[in-house]
Amino acid sequence: MPYEPLPYRPPRRSLEDARRELDENFQIMASRRSVRMFSSDPVPKDIIETAIRIAGTAPSGANRQPWQFVAISNPEVKQRIRQAAEEAEQEFYLRKAPKEWLDALEPLGTDFVKEHITAAPWLIVVFRVDYVELGDGGRSKNYYVPESVGIATGFLIQALHRAGLATLTHTPAPMTFLREICGRPLNEKPYLLMPVGYPADDCTAPNVSRKALAEIFEAIE
Ligand code: IYR
């Protein structure tokens, strides 16, 4: 495809406006917590769809948009996913995880029981698409796939949180079962499993804090 750029002239916002927007967004995002206790209150499908549209605006390597999202509200399918995830996690907690890793998880209070997978009204499975099969037997490769899908997932988490919805990023290992259960083709690899919904009325979250700016940032001026 030839290079045919279009004018891009977003309106310039005042610094005052920018600071207000950023301060407000920081407050909103700093209040986000990963949630493991979901209400079963329903979330309409259009809410999920618009959040996924937002995820789909993420930048990606060569603009290949190498992601696929599957949202599941079907209770039987959620149950199958929970069962498979719990089997993988049981193996992790009881056999595979080194003690050091289990120690790091202790303050989070996690274990292999994943009730949130069936409690949340929606499960979003994010797939990475490493290549696309061309009709002629060839393949078209995608670029910077984990980076691109990670950015899209970040957009998704922010969009859902700003809409008042809770999320949990979950990566049971191995998670190939998600491709089978979701009926996706072999060029799509599960990247993340994310329950989405409202927090339960009695929801609690681990007592964690964020690093200070000085710990995560350095300016070179
Ligand atoms: N995947 C396991 C263990 C786990 C790992 C990390 I790193 C966490 O931040 C939290 C949990 C689980 O989901 O329980």
Sign of the alpha-carbon torsion through 117, 122, 124, 125: positive
Q: How far is ligand 1, taken at its centre, from the CA of residue 195, in Å?
A: 14
pLDDT > 90? residue 209: yes
* Overall pTM surpassing 0.85 (yes/no): yes
**What does the pLDDT read at residue 169?**
98
Ligand 1 pocket test, pick from 33, 92, 178 with the greatest ligand atom count within 8 Å of Cβ, gives 92
Residue 140's pLDDT band (cuts 50, 70, 90): very high
- Within 6 A (CB) of ligand 1 lie 89, 92, 105, 108, 110, 170, 172
Which structure tokens are listed for 167?
């999320």
Residues 89-115 have a mean pLDDT of 97
pLDDT > 90? residue 204: yes
Query: Hey, whose CA ends up nearest to atom 13 of ligand 1?
Result: 170
Query: Hey, whose CA ends up nearest to atom 8 of ligand 1?
Result: 105
Shortest-distance atom of ligand 1 to CA 97: 3
Q: Mind listing the pLDDT tens digit for each residue in 54-76?
A: 999 999 999 999 999 999 999 99
Shortest-distance atom of ligand 1 to CA 108: 10
pLDDT > 90? residue 1: no
**What does the pLDDT read at residue 88?**
97
Q: Which residues contact 176 (CB under 8 A, 6 or more apart)?
A: 189, 190
**What does the pLDDT read at residue 62?**
97
Determine what percent of the chain is predicted with pLDDT higher than 70. Answer: 100
Q: Which amino acid is at 178?
A: L
